[in-house]
Each structure stands twice: as structure tokens, then as C-alpha cells.
Amino acid sequence: MTKDSVTLLELNSLVRSVVEQSLDGEYWLEAELSEARLAQNGHFYVEFVQKDASGRSFVARARGTVWARTYNMIAPLFERATGERLRAGMKVRVLVTVAFHELYGYSLNVVNIDPSFTLGDLAQRRREILAQLEADGILEDNRQLPLPLLLKRIAVVSSAGAAGYGDFCDQLANNDYGLCFHVQLFPAVMQGANVEESVLAALAAIADEAERWDCVVVIRGGGATSDLADFDSYPLAAAVAQMPLPVLVGIGHERDETVLDFVAHTRVKTPTAAAAFIIDHGAQQLALLDELQGRITQGVAMRVENLRLQLARLGLSFVQSAKFKVQSSKLKVEGLEQRFVQGSKFKVQSSKLKLESLEQRFGQSSKLKVQSSKLKLENLQARLAALDPVLQLQRGYTLTFTADGRLVHSAADVHRGERLTTRFADGSVESVADNVLQRNDDLDRTMVGA
């Protein structure tokens, strides 16, 4: 080995001595925990990081150790003060000593912690999430949804084996009002690394069939308060705020609070409080229905009584009116009867006089009718006698008949060669038509010449 070279051990030892001599003993450090794990030996190992202004890139990193004896003292104090366990993603203010070991290198040893800093950071984180929800215009969306009159169909987001879920179902099933509920569990991981992803999936499944449900209940029973930090999530808060159904949130204990409490339609403290709220809501609607039933019953009774009184008044008025009508009708009938009797007598007398006048007129008219008819008959008999064929034959007229007995009225009725019989007063002559002459000018001249 040349005198210009050093070993790695020598170099690390030099660095260690420089660090120990030039640095103060302790420093208050503000950093974010990118890793945090409790080893089986009781030591708590972390990694401190610092990010740039954008929050996307690391600008510094260091390993840290909380030795078991120190961890057993500061961890309970921190949890009582913040309600949180030390975990990755948390910002902390810790008192550290700087160490450099020849074999393990640079590290920080945590000797104390300031819970108030973490509390402030958690509150700041919640404020930032709420501010973002408000800026996005969705902070009040779920609160503004109307709560159905009856919450009977309930979609529950919870862990299947959670005691809080069992208490919730038992309280609903054994309520004092006999209310019936239909509850369906949409199981989700309620603590650990997959809380956000699991709860978001359950909420999405409910939203896909929103018409089947009256409300959503997100519940988580007792346990470590530090696990509730998983619910301080913008994606979860945004999903709850934009659910198409009212969301009831009952997470943790009485003193616990998450971002979901600020965006849900109704916030309750515990799963049993969520069940009590639903039961009380139903009881209020039952009381309202009972009140409405009483008011309706009373109103109907008053209406029936009023109608009965009106009917009684109408009945009395009808009886009086009927009596008046009967009396009036009786007088009218009597008047009509007298008028009818008088009119009938007058009609009978008038008809009797008309009948006697008609009898006289009929007698005179009948005699005239008989005499006139007798003269008409005698005239007709004389005219009929004058038309007697025998008398016409005696006067020199003849009658000509065809062979089949038809009387010949016109020369057009005779055909040449036809046999004819001509009757005279004293006999008849049979002949054959040799020439048939129609009446015309030649015939007229021939007859005149003859």
C-alpha cells in the first residue's frame, strides 16, 4: 500500500470522526416518511425523504432508526396525541442524532418526536382535500340529495367480518318499531394498504345499480385510530361526494374524524349510530303517518257529521216542501176537476146540438142525393140502351169477326186471304179478304167517286 492511498475502513473512520466532531449532538428534523416498519426485534426502521416544490421528485433521502427502547416510549405518546400510528406518507418532526458507521454508513437515530407537527400536517392535508373538492364544485353534492321518506333498501360498504357491521345489522333487525330493512353488503377492505382501491370498487358497484337502493352506508367499527388515515383520500372523498344516493358515514369512534365526514350526506359517529339514525328516520315517518291518519280520521268524522246535519236539514226541508207540493197539487187537481166537469158538460151539450143539426141536414141532403142519383141512373140506362149492339145492327150497322172470333176494329186487323164473318141484324155473311185497303187519300177519293 502506498502512502497516498487509504482503505475504505480508514476513510469511513475519518468521515465518522469528522461528523462526530463537527456536528451538534441533536437536530429537529422535518421530513416525510417514505418507509416505516416495525422489526421483530422491536426496532422501528424508517426512511426520511424530502421532495421538491412540485412534490414529484426527491431532493434528499436518509435512513432512520428508532431503537426499541425509544420506540416503546414515544410511539404510545404519539398515537394518543394524534390518533395515528407512525406510517409511510406521514410528515413528522423528530429529534435525531446523526450517525456514521464504517459498515452501515450514514443514518439518523430518532430520540423524540413532536406530535403537534403531525397533527398540523394531518389537518392541513384534510384542509387541502376539502379545498380541492370545493374548487371542483362537488363538496356539497351529496349533502344536497333528498333523503327518501323510508330508508328500507340499504347498501353497506364494510368488511364482512367486522364487528361493527354485525352490530349494525343486529340493531336494524331488532328495532322497536317492527321496521323491515333489506341490507346488502358490498365488502371492502377497511384498513391496510388496499382501503382506497377496495372502497372505491364497492362504491362503483353500488352506483351501477343505484335504482335498487335508498341509501349507502359506509361503516367501520373500532380499532386503531391510525388506520383511519386511509379515509383521508381525495379519490374516496370525491367518489362519496358524487354518489347518486345519500351516503351515511359511520367510521371509527366518537372522537374520530375523516374527510368523508365532511362530504357525506349524513355523518354519524359509529356503525350503531348509523343504524340508530336509519331506525329513527323510519320511526319519524311512522309517527308522521300516524299523525296524518289521525288527522284524516278526524277530518272524515267531521265531514260525515257535517253531511249528516246537512242531510237532516235537507230531509226536514224536503218534508215541508213535499207537504206544500202535495197541497198545491191537490188544489190544482180540484181546480182541473171542476174545469173538466164544466168543460165536459159544455162539450156534451154542444155536441148534442151539433148532432141534432147534422141529423136535420143529413135528412134533407139525403133526399136530394137520392133524387139526383135516380136521375143519373135513368140517364145511364138510356145511354146504355142506345149502345146495345142489336139496336145498332137494326140501324144498318154490321160487326165483322175473324175466324178465331176477334172483333175487327180496323182494316189493319185484317190480312189478305183471311176468312171473315160479317153479322147483320137479320143474319151473317162469310167472306175472304181479297184486298186490304188502308185509309189514305186514294181510298178517300175512291169512296167519294163511288
Q: Are residues 112 and 149 in the same domain?
A: no
Reading the block at residue 346, the C-alpha cell is 159544455
Residues 6+ apart with CB under 8 A from 392: none
Distance CA 285, CA 279 (A): 10
Among 283, 300, 321, residue at a domain's last position: 283
pLDDT at 405: 82
CA proximity to 224, closest of 267, 196, 200, 253: 253
Q: Using an 8 Å Cβ cutoff, are 274 and 268 in contact?
A: yes
Q: What is the mean pLDDT of each run of 10 residues along the chain (450 residues)?
A: 79 90 90 92 95 84 95 92 82 93 92 86 81 94 93 95 90 92 95 88 97 96 65 93 96 76 92 94 86 82 87 83 82 81 80 80 77 84 75 81 86 86 88 80 48
pLDDT at 438: 72
Among 82, 117, 152, residue at a domain's last position: 117
Strand 91-101 with 58-66, pairing: unpaired
Is 251 part of a structural domain of the chain?
Answer: yes
Distance CA 25, CA 22 (A): 9
What phi-psi label fits residue 89: left (phi over 0), alpha (psi between -120 and 50 degrees) or beta? left
Distance CA 45, CA 47 (A): 7
Distance CA 442, CA 277 (A): 138
Q: Are residues 63 and 93 in the same domain?
A: yes
Is 144 part of a structural domain of the chain?
Answer: yes
Q: Are residues 140 and 278 in the same domain?
A: yes
Is 371 part of a structural domain of the chain?
Answer: no
Reading the block at residue 117, the C-alpha cell is 407537527
Say which CATH number the domain at 154 has.
Answer: 3.40.50.2300
pLDDT at 447: 46
Helix, strand, coil shares, percent, the chain, to 5: 50, 20, 30
Q: Are residues 103 and 26 in the same domain?
A: yes
pLDDT at 362: 73
Q: Are residues 96 and 179 in the same domain?
A: no
Is 339 part of a structural domain of the chain?
Answer: no
Say which CATH number the domain at 104 has.
Answer: 2.40.50.140
Q: Are residues 84 and 139 in the same domain?
A: no
Is 43 part of a structural domain of the chain?
Answer: yes
Residues 6+ apart with CB under 8 A from 126: 232, 258, 259, 262
Q: Are residues 99 and 42 in the same domain?
A: yes
Helix/strand/coil for 38: strand
Is 44 part of a structural domain of the chain?
Answer: yes
Among 238, 264, 283, residue at a domain's last position: 283
Q: Using an 8 Å Cβ cutoff, are 108 and 72 in contact?
A: no
Q: Are residues 147 and 260 in the same domain?
A: yes
Is 336 part of a structural domain of the chain?
Answer: no
Distance CA 290, CA 171 (A): 23
Angle at 410 between CA 407 and CA 413, to 5 degrees: 70
Q: Are residues 39 and 153 in the same domain?
A: no
Question: Whole-structure pTM over 0.85, yes or no?
Answer: no
Domain count, the chain: 3
Torsion sign, CA atoms 324, 326, 332, 338: negative
Residue 267 CB neighbours (<10 A) = 20
pLDDT at 144: 96
Residue 228 is classified by DSSP as: G
Residues 6+ apart with CB under 8 A from 63: 45, 46, 47, 48, 105, 106, 107, 108
Distance CA 73, CA 409 (A): 163
pLDDT at 181: 95
Is 279 part of a structural domain of the chain?
Answer: yes
Distance CA 240, CA 258 (A): 12
Q: Are residues 109 and 230 in the same domain?
A: no
Reading the block at residue 172, the C-alpha cell is 336494524
Distance CA 437, CA 443 (A): 7
- Owning domain of residue 25: 8-117
Reading the block at residue 112, the C-alpha cell is 423524540
* Alpha-carbon distance values, 9 to 2, 13, 20, 59, 141 (Å): 16, 6, 16, 28, 64
* Alpha-carbon distance values, 238 to 213, 228, 259, 267 (Å): 20, 17, 10, 16
pLDDT at 439: 67
Q: Are residues 155 and 244 in the same domain?
A: yes
Q: Are residues 95 and 215 in the same domain?
A: no
